[in-house]
Structure formats: structure tokens, C-alpha cells
Amino acid sequence: MKEHDHIEKLFREKLQNLEGDVPASAWENISNQIAATPAAGSAIAKTLSGKLIAGAGIITGAAAIIAGAIYFGNSEDHTNSQQQGTETVSQIGSNEDNASGLSDSEENMAEYNSDKTTSRLKNNNQSAGALQNEAYAGSTEQQLAEESANGEAASSSSNQTSSSQSPSRYGNSPKGPSRIMRGVEQVVNAGANNDRGNAPSGQQTTEVAKANISADKESGDWPLTVQFSNLGTGAEQLWDFGDGEQSTDLSPEHTFKKPGVYTVKLQTSSGRSNAEDKIQITVRSISEIVREPNVFTPNGDGENDLFSIEFKEMRAVTVSISSVNGELVHTWEGPDGSWNGMQMNSGKLLPDGLYYYIIRAVGNDGVVHNKKGSVTLLRSN
């Protein structure tokens, strides 16, 4: 997964604000089609049309200039930016339209024309992002104000609405840099009707949420500390580590306190755009029962005279040994205990034969080991 992450980013950055040449025939085809439907509200049409045509003239002019900037501007850095990246396309969040049945993430797009500004703003967004909650319910004006204060785009973002080629934006700066292609998409969703003060809700500074978990390791021995980060984007992150703990940090470091397989979930949101990703983290236990001999020879020759069990990283051990009849013959506590073949390790020799043992042990890592086995007592040989 990791080695592919940059692909997503690369394509998103380069193509999200892609523009393409539109053949002249496209409009002909469309206008023929829509002309077939009868006009309504012709009174409005009359009052507006003069204005519209005038506006269209200006805009066409502006568009031509912009187009020039697009064609020639992209091969160079946008160092000619007089506007220092203050050009922002602002969008107003649409709350209700379901016309196309799609979700709203499409809306969270706008462009910045300056790479530098973009990355800076992005950072700001992310830091401010922790403030954003339940974006659908609308973030507060305060948040917008705060983010605006952070982002350089603020000055223009709140006052300009969606029309991306409105003459007011370009009329004054005909040499304005190309506004497409380069920028990472970011959204400044200004409040409705251009007016921050009057817009009660729905003001968000967001980008399209994208969840893409990166972890510096996906498995390891207990105790495992993993550094997580989101390679995607999101104003707000909620990490669920699968062990009952959560974090809203951008790139949390988390220590798993018990061995196991954890599904770590990241939910990220920006405005109304949500994304989720999961990753599995395996924390290996370090405590184990290393060796259980199946025979011992307590005959005093110095070899194999004791039955003991080798443990690793155990903090509590109880071993009990019983005869085949179920009679308890010995028990010990602690990882270093042993059995010498006598009843309770004292005096009475127990006969050769098979004995059963039960191990109950708790590792330093909290893992409980319960194990049964058998051992043969063999004195005569």
C-alpha cells in the first residue's frame, strides 16, 4: 500500500483542476438541444439580457486573457504572480441539492494559483482543522475567521463567490497568473452570499478529505509504538487504534499495550467530505513457554535430575503436576521452579511413569498462557 500512496497524490494534485479545450461544436450541440425547450419567464429575460450581453463581452475578453495565461503560464513557475496567491476560488456549499444524486465531495474543490500559497494554506488548514467538527452541521464563523487569519487567501476568499471567471477578479489584473492546473485543490467555502457576517452556517475551509494511513511499521514485538500519519488530506482526523483508544492528532504515535492484531481506523473529514482507511497492526507477544521437557531422570546422576520449564518474559507462573490418577504431586510458583520427582519435592519418591502438568502463566506483555502437557518420570536406567 505504501509504495502506491504517492500515485494518488500525484494524480489528484495534477488532475483535479484539469481544464480542457472545448470544441466549438460542443456549444452548438448544447444550444440546439436546450433551445428546443420553450422559454419561461421572458420578462426576466428581457430585463436581464442587455446586462448579460454586456457582461458576456467583458467576460469573454477576460477569458481570452486567462486562456493565454493558461497556455503559456504553465511552462514556467508562477513567479509573475502579482497577487501572491491571493486568488482563490471560493465556493458556497450547497446544502440541499441532490439533483444528480451524488454526494457533496465534488463541491469541495477550488483552485489556488500559487503552489507556495497552496502548501502554506494547506498546513494552516490542517492545523486549524482540529477545530472542525461535524462539518455538515456547519463549522462556525469563528473557525472561518480563524482560518482566514491563517491563510493568505483570506482577503479574497470571503468576498468572491463562485463565478470563477468573473470580471471583477480578472479585470484589474490582466496579467494574473494562470489559475489552473498547478495548485493542489483546496477549498475555501465562503458563506452564502459573500457575506461572512450574515451567513449563519455552512462556512468551511476545507479540502477534499482523503484517508490514507501510513504507519512506520505494521508489526513488531510488544510493546509496539507505531507512528501513524495520513497521506491523504483532511481537516479533521479521528484515529481509532482498535484497542479502545482514539486520537484526533494529525499524525499520532501510539503504543499498543497488549499483543494482538489491531485494526486501526482513520476517519477524516473536510467539510462534508469524509473518507476512511484501515490498516492492520500486529503486535507480537514476547512472552512464551520456551521449552517443556517430556522426560526427566531424577536419579542423582546430575543429569536431568529436575523437571523444569523454560519461560521467557513471564511475570507470574504456576505449575502443578499430578499423577495419572489426578492426584496433585507437586506444584511450584515462579518461572524458576522445578520438580525433583518427590511428593511435593520432599521425602517420598514418586514412582516412574507419566505425570501431567498444567502451566498457568502471565507474560510481562499481559498475555496469559495456559498449557497442559505430560512428562515421564524415569529413574531407572
Partner 1 sequence: MSDEELVKGCLAKDPAAQKLLFDTYSRKMMGVCLRYADDADEAQDMLQNGFIRVFEKLDSFKAMGSLEGWIRKIVVNESLTWIRKNKYRQNDIALEDVKTGINDESKKGTELNEKDLLKMIAKLPTGFRTVFNLYAIEGYSHKEIAEMLGITEGTSKSQYARAKAQLQKALSLEYELTEKRMA
Binding span for partner 1 by CB under 8 A among 32-40, 240-248, 288-296, 343-351: 32-40
Site string for partner 1, 313-352 (x = CB under 8 A): ----------------------------------------
Q: Binders of partner 1: how many residues, by CB under 8 A?
A: 86
Between CA 180 and CA 67 the distance in angstroms is 10
Q: Based on CB atoms, which residue is closest to partner 1, 210 or 254? A: 210
Identity of residue 180: I
Between CA 284 and CA 130 the distance in angstroms is 33
Binding span for partner 1 by CB under 8 A among 17-25, 112-120, 214-222, 352-360: 17-25
**Footprint of partner 1 on residues 248-287 (CB under 8 A)?**
273-276
**Footprint of partner 1 on residues 181-220 (CB under 8 A)?**
181, 189, 192, 202, 208-210
Q: How far is the CB of 158 from partner 1 (least distance, A)?
A: 14
Q: How far is the CB of 21 from partner 1 (least distance, A)?
A: 5
Identity of residue 321: I
Q: Based on CB atoms, which residue is closest to partner 1, 43 or 348? A: 43
Contacting residue, 27, 84, 227, 324, with partner 1 by CB under 8 A: 27
Binding span for partner 1 by CB under 8 A among 21-29, 128-136, 141-149, 238-246: 21-29
Length of the chain: 381
CB 281 within 8 A of CB 220: no
Binding span for partner 1 by CB under 8 A among 1-9, 218-226, 337-345, 362-370: 1-9
Q: How far is the CB of 98 from partner 1 (least distance, A)?
A: 8
Between CA 173 and CA 167 the distance in angstroms is 10
Q: Per rule CB under 8 A, is residue 93 in the interface with partner 1?
A: yes
| Cis ω before 223 (30° cut-off from 0) | yes
Q: Per rule CB under 8 A, is residue 75 in the interface with partner 1?
A: yes
Contacting residue, 79, 97, 302, 346, with partner 1 by CB under 8 A: 97
Helix and strand numbers (H, E) in the chain are 7, 20
Per-residue buried b or exposed e for 114-132, using 16+ beta carbons within 10 Å of the residue's own CB: bbebbebbbebbbebbeeb
Q: How far is the CB of 278 from partner 1 (least distance, A)?
A: 11
Strands 219-221 and 273-284 come out as parallel
Contacting residue, 2, 48, 142, 195, with partner 1 by CB under 8 A: 48
DSSP characters over 26-63? HHHHHHHHHHTSPP--HHHHHHHHHHHHHHHHHHHHHH
Q: Per rule CB under 8 A, is residue 59 in the interface with partner 1?
A: yes
Between CA 369 and CA 365 the distance in angstroms is 11
Contacting residue, 133, 166, 345, 364, with partner 1 by CB under 8 A: 166
Among 1, 3, 8, 4, smallest CA distance to 233 is for 8
Binding span for partner 1 by CB under 8 A among 93-101, 134-142, 248-256, 334-342: 93-101
Ranges of beta strands (E only) in the chain are 90-92, 187-190, 204-206, 213-215, 219-221, 224-230, 236-240, 246-247, 253-256, 260-270, 273-284, 288-291, 295-296, 307-308, 310-312, 314-323, 328-333, 338-339, 353-363, 368-377
Among 298, 264, 306, smallest CA distance to 281 is for 264
Identity of residue 42: S
Ranges of beta strands (E only) in 156-223 are 187-190, 204-206, 213-215, 219-221
CB 229 within 8 A of CB 212: no
Q: How far is the CB of 137 from partner 1 (least distance, A)?
A: 15
Site string for partner 1, 111-150 (x = CB under 8 A): ----------------------------------------
Binding span for partner 1 by CB under 8 A among 53-61, 286-294, 313-321, 346-354: 53-61
Q: Based on CB atoms, which residue is closest to partner 1, 37 or 79? A: 37
Q: Based on CB atoms, which residue is closest to partner 1, 205 or 297? A: 205
